[in-house]
Amino acid sequence: MFKRVLLQMSVGIAFGAASLAAQAADITGAGASFPYPIYAKWAAKYQETTGHRINYQSIGSGGGQQQIIAGTVDFGASDDPMKGDALEKNQLFQFPAIIGGTVPVINVKGIEPGQLVLSGPVLADIFLGKITKWDDKAIKALNPKVALPATSIIVVHRADGSGTTFGWTNYLSKASPAWKEQVGEGKAVKWPLGQGGKGNEGVAAYVRQLTNSIGYVEYAYAKQNKLAWTQLVNMDGKAVQPSQEAFAAAAANADWKSAPGMGVILTNEPGADSWPVTSASFILLRKTQDKPENGKEVLAFFDWAFKNGGEMAKELDYVPMPEQVVSGIKDLWKTEIKAKDGSAVWK
């Protein structure tokens, strides 16, 4: 499980000047657990490089949206992009910060990471409770050479409002008409069965502890917790392994200008190499900054991350935002994020 990194910005650490430290903004953010591993890694390096520290709490996308709307944090983070009307109503600005993939994770004796193959319809039937045994004929058909036990499947899902759950249920809704009709998609849904864990951390912990279980987490959590992930059959009918390359393939043709707030959904994208449950994670900022120095520092952190964090992202199998997309994001920072007097926060 990931060790949380707490940040309180302190300019004095960087320059050894108490007067500057007194002027330092206290930067806070909260939201999605999906990008937490890379945000924590960026934050640690950012502190080492600049002396500035950022306090980001991994509380789930629903909590991130609620806190930025309430004005209790300087930025929110969500894997479920807010729609245009909600952004307008709450006077929020949204931009994508990173791309990654959600993977099914299992704890079945004798099955190694990447060995088992599953498909969207089979996953939907497992989470609907229609497939209840690991040696079900539908799973056997995809894995004729794998020794599957005749044991009951334990389903693990998120208990909190989660952008990871939004991506997962959005994918299942595209892959299974039955899932779409009976459960649907959202940050929180009425699960037909299973046990709930809080955050990607909680789901990973449950799957690690419960033999014969299955859940879903961001890929970095699967690797860090040494969980067995599965292959997935994608839209082109190809069984693919999760990887930074597979997530990049799914995002390759994304039209970021096609949705308000650049809120593009990347699940079930075509392409022989595409990972089916790929998604972007988004940052939310208030358009009018009560404390413009705080807003400027948030943008400075992500500006630094876009410039310097690409290799760190790849090490955790995330996909950095393409340079042309980043350029467009920064142009919008200059026009969309303003102080109360109307002046630009980012120049």
Q: pLDDT by residue (tens digit) across 85-143?
A: 999 999 999 999 999 999 999 999 999 999 999 999 999 999 999 999 999 999 999 99
List all residues 6 or more positions away from 166 whose beta carbon is below 8 Å from its beta carbon: 61, 79, 80, 185, 186, 187
Distance CA 341, CA 343 (A): 6
Please state the pTM of the whole predicted model. 0.89
**What is the architecture of the domain spanning 11-98+280-339?**
3-Layer(aba) Sandwich (3.40)
At 18, which helix (H) or strand (E)?
helix 18-23
For 182-207, give the DSSP string: HT--SSS---SS-EEESHHHHHHHHH
**pLDDT for residue 17 is more than 50:** no
Distance CA 304, CA 299 (A): 8
**pLDDT for residue 15 is more than 70:** no
Residue 177 and residue 216 in contact, taking contact as beta carbons nearer than 8 Å: no
**pLDDT classification of 25: cutoffs 50, 70, 90:** low
Residue 9 has a pLDDT of: 30
What ranges do the domains of the chain cover?
11-98+280-339, 101-262
pLDDT digits (tens, 9 = 90+) for 144-203: 999 999 999 999 999 999 999 999 999 999 999 999 999 999 999 999 999 999 999 999
Query: Do 11-98+280-339 and 101-262 agree at the fold level?
Result: yes
- Count CB-CB contacts under 10 A for residue 234: 25
The per-residue pLDDT of the chain, averaged, comes to 92
**pLDDT for residue 210 is more than 70:** yes
**pLDDT classification of 26: cutoffs 50, 70, 90:** confident
Identify the residue with better confidence: 252 or 4: 252
Torsion sign across C-alpha atoms 114, 116, 122, 126? negative
pLDDT digits (tens, 9 = 90+) for 60-84: 999 999 999 999 999 999 999 999 9
The CATH class that applies to domain 101-262 reads alpha beta
Residue 3 has a pLDDT of: 36
